[in-house]
Amino acid sequence: MKQRETGTEEDRRRFLMKLSLGLGGLAAAAAGIPVLGALLAPLLEKTGQTWRTVGTLRDFEIGTTSLIKYENPNPQAWAGVTAHSAAWLRRDSEKEFLAFSVNCTHLGCPVRWEQKADLFMCPCHGGVYYRDGTVAAGPPPNSLPQYAVRVKSGQVQIRTAPIPITNITA
Ligand code: FES
């Protein structure tokens, strides 16, 4: 009889332990799902690509590479100065333009254009890119990403996109 009571008490303890674990799991899921949703939502949002006017044909001399600034395609309300971005724009002929990301493909530092050397240089770890954006030296794993450029009614426009940093773990 005593053994039977001990068995019943043990069963009750096991049941209560399972119940508390189950309820604890439910409470954790109830609290965790909205937090997880808030963290992942920006990653799943479709980022808009739009054409931005960055100047007129007269603003860019043939043979020059200029730093142009524009607003990101999909800035968040809290973005502050990060809502603004930039690109290097080269004018090769009357209507031929190339636009390069300013961000190095190694760790995202802003590259600068060195006219005399005819190279893009990254000040962070010595990354060097040729004038066509391909890697010349240093740790960058890929060429500088390019943006589409068009001329419409005398306005030079680039199709803006999120900054494509390709290797953030190296
Ligand atoms: S961030 Fe440009 S070389 Fe490292």
The pLDDT of residue 48 is: 64
CB of 113 closer than 8 Å to CB of 70: no
- As given in the structure block, the two tokens for residue 139 are 């740790």
68 C-alpha to ligand 1 centroid (Å): 21
Residue with the two structure tokens 């060097």: 128
121 C-alpha to ligand 1 centroid (Å): 9
For residue 156, give the DSSP letter.
Answer: E
The pLDDT of residue 165 is: 46
Domain ranges (residues) in the chain: 1-45, 51-159
The pLDDT of residue 140 is: 96
Give the separation between CA 89 and CA 66, rounded to whole angstroms: 5
pTM for the predicted model, two decimal places: 0.67
Q: Return the ligand 1 atom nearest residue 126 CA.
A: 3
Cα–Cα–Cα angle for 97, 120, 142, rounded to 5 degrees? 90
The pLDDT of residue 19 is: 94
118: left (phi over 0), alpha (psi -120 to 50) or beta: left
CB of 90 closer than 8 Å to CB of 98: yes
138 C-alpha to ligand 1 centroid (Å): 8
Mean pLDDT, consecutive 10-residue segments, the chain of 170 residues? 68 92 91 83 70 92 92 71 86 92 93 95 96 95 94 91 49
CATH 2.30.30.90, applies to 51-159: no
The pLDDT of residue 57 is: 93
Per-residue pLDDT of 100-134, as tens digits, reads 999 999 999 999 999 999 999 999 999 999 999 99
